[in-house]
Structure 1
Amino acid sequence: MPNVFLDYYFQIPPISRTITLTTTVLYCLSSLNIVPPYKLIYVRALLIPQVWRFITPFFTIVGQPINFAWDTFTLHRLSTSLEALFPTPATYATFLATSIITVNILNLYLTSFLLFPSLLGALSYYYSTHLPADTKVGILFFQIPVRFYPYALMAMDFLMTQDTAGVKAMGMGVLGGHMFVYLDEVLPAVGGRKWISAPAWLERLLGTGRASGGVSTESAGTGRRPGSSGAGASTGSSTGSSFFGSSGTWGKRSGGRRLGD
């Protein structure tokens, strides 16, 4: 059994493996009060010298174990699917870093304590912009065009929680994801300079091979960039009752509630 677990663990693409493990470790430490949750959340007045607070809020989940299990599963499936869309693990890491930096800048003014929804917002935005426009995704009992997916999540979070905390955090993540797409794809496509690329040292550290697995219709739609071809890619496909169809409660389960609710 341990070998089966380890085999599966090391089959997960490296960046997805790292962020899923980080989220799990932080939840365990905070739940056991080895590290109090307050030490992990975003508090602007404590950012200096507690610089880890720029990072840990993105991987901190508070709540019951069932909520943690679902949120972590969602993060794992979404991240694993998206990592296969990027040419190298270093490029995916650069996407995450760009999104996190953008959210941190926005959060200086908007101040969300928990930024896990921001991470999911950035991932869902990238997903929504890299599938054919007529692809459908399931949100509970509804099928919607994939391009509306992040915004449907935010609307559902607000309806379920009657609180803007998760919506605000996820919205910052959407802007973070858009920043990367704009600098990496949109601006160069219209003749502008390509402002962002994976550093050479990060390429050497993480390797240059594309993550295996791809994006299946069971998890995250199709596994191709616009204009590319590949098995399993289809236009007008539907994810039906995939994990995306059940993920409309992301913000409600974690960042959509204020700490202590």
Structure 2
Amino acid sequence: MKTGLVAFFAALLLLCENGSDVQGLFVPSSTPIGTTFTGVKSLSSSVLELRGGAKKRGSSIKPAKTVTGKKKVGDKLKAEKQSPVSKLLENYRKVLPYTRAYITAIGVCTLLGVVLGEELSQSILALDPLRTLAGGEIWRFFTAASYLGTPSVTWLLDSYYLLQYGSSLEQAYGAAQYVVFLFSQLAILSILSILFGQPFFARSMITAMLHVLSRAMPKQQVRWLIFTVPYWSLPYGLMATDVLQAQSAGAAVPHILGIISGHFFHFHRFIWPKVGGEDWLKAPAFLSKYVDPAPRADAAKESVSRALKSRRKGKGKKLGL
């Protein structure tokens, strides 16, 4: 069983690196069209990277060669000796930090489901209002957002979508804004899930991510299965797929909750401020300072610059005096 679980994670991360035909189900069919709204860094290109992953770039490091100009034999042997586990860890490290943390939480909850069994793990991880609020079991807010069930094909696809959409959002908005998005969705979906009796809402988080991405370019033409549809309809296509697969209308509930919570974030972050409302979902400056790598680098450069400017030049003295 453990071997099967490792195989699922390996397949997930290898899909992320190499791209997959799965992406053809829910991805744009044209090239990037540029940034759609202010405050978002290269959102269009980040969204459209869902089509086939990041473009491969040639390495700037030239391969080692002998004096005669031929490649060293050891380089080829070293490349061939790279184990699947090393490849898995390498792909894992390439994932953006907060998406990687979320994927790790998914993996931990999945492992608990495998070890403890589905029934016992659900009793420990599910969002039970009485045990969460009255019993003080606060961890249930986080585990309910991180449990996708035991390993299966559905689990693999959901994890893949979370990895792709989460990485695109984190790259587009920046780490600080992505953290605000995650916690806002955690709060809203916790309330909605309690009201609608949903013990887990990880699938709702995935739909919320897709909805926010799709609202950036609502009229962009994308592929869904064998159809070409507007991007705004993609979350509904994902919902229809789950309903048909489960043969039950109840499978639409997590997606509906995700669309509601995702639209709440999109409206209050990008629409409400344009009509004079307060931009209260914008990442605060202190959070950007500590979690975004670019602001940290700028702050370090500014600190060094101030230190250099504050240095006073002393008066020189001639030797021997």
Same fold (TM over 0.5): yes
- Which residue of the partner structure matches residue 30 of structure 1? 113
Pick from 185, 191, 216 the counterpart of residue 130 of structure 1: 216
Q: 1:23 Cα shift?
A: 0.4
Pick from 13, 17, 23 the counterpart of residue 100 of structure 2: 17
- Which residue of the partner structure matches residue 179 of structure 2? 93
- Which residue of the partner structure matches residue 227 of structure 1? none
Q: Answer yes or no: is the 8 Å Cα contact 2:176–2:291 preserved in 1.
A: yes
- Which residue of the partner structure matches residue 249 of structure 1? none
Q: 1:16 Cα shift?
A: 1.0
- Which residue of the partner structure matches residue 221 of structure 1? none
Structure 1 gaps of 5+ residues are 211-261
Pick from 263, 268, 271 the counterpart of residue 186 of structure 1: 271
Q: What does the per-residue CA deviation read over 1:18-52, in whole Å, with 9 as the maximum and x for residues that have no partner?
A: 11111012101211118723211122222121111
- Which residue of the partner structure matches residue 53 of structure 1? 140
- The code of the aligned residue for 1:111 comes to G
Within 2, Cα distance between the matches of 1:193 and 1:121? 26
Q: Kindly indicate which of the two structures has a greater share of residues assigned to helix.
A: 2
Q: Radius of gyration: which is bigger?
A: 2
Within 1, Cα distance between the matches of 2:96 and 2:159? 15
Match of 2:283, SS? coil
Q: Percent identity?
A: 24
After superposition, residues 167-206 of structure 1 pair within 5 angstroms as 167-206=252-291
- Which residue of the partner structure matches residue 79 of structure 1? 166
Q: Answer yes or no: is the 8 Å Cα contact 2:110–2:151 preserved in 1.
A: no
Q: 1:182 Cα shift?
A: 1.3
Greater mean alpha carbon deviation, residues 43-52 or residues 158-167? 158-167
2:224 matches 1:154: no
Runs of 4+ aligned residues of structure 1 deviating over 6 Å after TM superposition are none
Match of 2:248, SS? coil
Q: 1:71 Cα shift?
A: 2.0
Q: 1:140 Cα shift?
A: 1.8
Q: What does the per-residue CA deviation read over 1:190-228, in whole Å, with 9 as the maximum and x for residues that have no partner?
A: 111112222344323312439xxxxxxxxxxxxxxxxxx
Within 1, Cα distance between the matches of 2:193 and 2:152? 27
- Which residue of the partner structure matches residue 205 of structure 2? 119
Q: Answer yes or no: is the 8 Å Cα contact 2:103–2:163 preserved in 1.
A: yes
- The code of the aligned residue for 1:135 comes to Q
Q: 1:115 Cα shift?
A: 0.8
Within 2, Cα distance between the matches of 1:64 and 1:6? 19
Q: Answer yes or no: is the 8 Å Cα contact 1:100–1:176 preserved in 2.
A: no
Match of 1:137, SS? strand
Two-structure CA RMSD over aligned residues (Å): 2.1
- The code of the aligned residue for 2:234 comes to Y
Q: Answer yes or no: is the 8 Å Cα contact 2:158–2:206 preserved in 1.
A: no
Within 2, Cα distance between the matches of 1:151 and 1:67? 17
Within 1, Cα distance between the matches of 2:260 and 2:182? 12
- The code of the aligned residue for 1:66 comes to V
Q: 1:6 Cα shift?
A: 3.6
Q: 1:72 Cα shift?
A: 1.4
Higher relative contact order (CA 8 A, sep 6+): 1
Within 1, Cα distance between the matches of 2:190 and 2:89? 34
- Which residue of the partner structure matches residue 226 of structure 1? none
- Which residue of the partner structure matches residue 3 of structure 2? none
Within 2, Cα distance between the matches of 1:202 and 1:63? 35
Q: Answer yes or no: is the 8 Å Cα contact 2:158–2:203 preserved in 1.
A: no
Cα distance change of structure 1 residues 166 and 114 upon mapping to structure 2, 3 Å threshold: farther
